[in-house]
Structure 1
Amino acid sequence: MIGYVRGVVTHLFKDACYVDVHGVGYRVYVPTTTRQLLVEGEESTLFTYLNVREDAMQLYGFSTEDEYELFILLISVSGIGPKVGLGILSGMTPEAFKLAILNGQVAQLTKLPGIGKKSAERLVLELKDKLAKMTTISVNTVAAVQPIGITVGGLAGEAIDGLVALGYAQNEVETIVERLDDGTRDVPALIKAALAEIGKGR
């Protein structure tokens, strides 16, 4: 088991990076939260999980032990593999996810990539007690379960918030809105254009 890798980040991709460790380049799959902290040319430490399959060995990395531990819990749930687990951590911060589980917010969980109603219910059923023992967050804590990407500012940020309020997944709309935000549209126009783009893909 590779517990962690420490080295220089040489390449960044949407959901992965290359980390050069003494001349050996490791491809590490990372969630959005970790991806946002990585900088090409700078040294980073990633806590890792090695997933061994018949046709491949894939390394998953996380910037904090908290994310790593949550990932291990996620993939212990029936039907949740490493890719889905990574998608969950990319769609919601660890603290927000814990709140959603502890409060049984199934509807909120179904907005995550790869998670339907049955999967969300299974996550709550299998993880609620485990997370209650591991975290100091109390059930019914008054806090919004905010998806990743909330830090996007300006008109784009407002448009993204508006689309999320309409029920669209953060990951789905963030890329679209940022691409459409050319400085010529106000918030309503951005939302309208994004809805049109979403409609084309469905």
Structure 2
Amino acid sequence: MIGYLKGIISHIFTNSCFIDVHGVGYRAYAPASTLDGLTVGKEALLYTYMSVREDAIVLYGFATQDEYDLFMLLIGVNGVGPKVALGILSAGTADSFRLAVHKKDIKGLTKMPGIGKKTAERIVLELQDKIGPVAGGDTPADVDKASAPGMSAILAETLTALTSLGYSEQEVLPVAESHLASCMTVEQLLKETLKTLGSGR
């Protein structure tokens, strides 16, 4: 098992890259978040998982230990193979995925590539107690509290406006919550949240 690769990035493709380690070029399939952080000609370290099948040996690479750990948890779920797990990690951030699982957002999970309703239900059931908190230390209880009927009216209206624009709730909730304390109106919160979402795209 190859634990990690450290070398020069020689090529970057749609869903993979070549990393040159002392003259040997390894192809590593990676999520979009990892590929976005790579630069051709620059050194990088990728945490790797090697998938061995009868017809192929495939390397998957990740920029952070956190992404690697989530990937390993995902492929441990029945019905989720390495390609599907990679698609899930490429569909959003690690924390947006954690939030969807903590909130039992089956509908949101099924929007990810390769995930049907039954697989989404299995992911929630098997990973809810394993994936840890989202950024900022939010626990499942914190997430439930934010989604409860008593949630700030300003936050609720902002979420409604953003989801009508095509954003998913798990994508915008943590961003909107981070600006809530400094915003007094829906307009202010909407403006600041959109600014942050736009800078991340």
- Taking structure 2 as the reference length, the TM-score comes to 0.69
Mapped partners of 1:163, 1:62: distance in 2: 33
Distance 2:134 2:167 in 1: 33
Aligned to 2:39: 39
Structure 1: runs of 5 or more not aligned: 144-160, 171-202
Offset at residue 137 of structure 1 (A): 2.8
Match of 2:85 in 1: 85
AA of the residue aligned to 1:139 = P
Structure 1 match to 2:117? 117
C-alpha distance in structure 2 between counterparts of 1:55 and 1:44, whole Å: 29
Deviation, structure 1 residue 138: 1.1
* Unmatched tracts of structure 2, length 5 or more: 145-161, 172-201
Between the aligned partners of 2:35 and 2:164, the Cα distance in structure 1 is 23
SS in 1 for 2:84: helix
**1:31-82 Cα shifts (integer Å, max 9, x gaps):** 0000100110100000000000001100000000000000000000001000
Mapping of 1:87-166 within 5 angstroms? 87-132=87-132, 136-139=137-140, 141=142, 165=166
CA contact under 8 A between 2:133 and 2:140: conserved in structure 1?
no
How much has 1:162 moved relative to structure 2? 8.2
Q: Would you say 1:9 and 2:9 are equivalent positions?
A: yes
Per-residue deviation at 1:118? 1.0
Q: In the alignment, residue 3 of structure 2 is paired with which amino acid?
A: G
Are the aligned partners of 2:52 and 2:58 in contact in 1 as well (CA < 8 Å)? yes
Cα deviations by residue, 1:2-53 (Å, 9 ceiling, x for unpaired): 0000000000100000000000000000000001001101000000000000
Backbone CA RMSD of aligned residues:
2.5
User: 1:75 aligns to what?
Assistant: 75
Percent identity between the two aligned chains: 51
2:10 maps to 1:23: no
**What CA distance in whole angstroms lies between the structure 2 residues aligned with 1:86 and 1:68?**
10
Distance in 2, Cα, partners of 1:131 & 1:10:
33
**In structure 2, what residue type is equivalent to 1:50?**
M
Query: For residues 122 and 94 of structure 1, what CA distance do their matches in structure 2 show?
Result: 18
Length-normalised TM-score, structure 1: 0.69
- Deviation of 1:86 after TM superposition, in Å, equals 0.2
3-state SS in 2 of match to 1:71: helix
Distance between the aligned counterparts of 1:166 and 1:7, measured in 2? 37
- 8 Å contact 1:99–1:141 — kept in the other structure? no
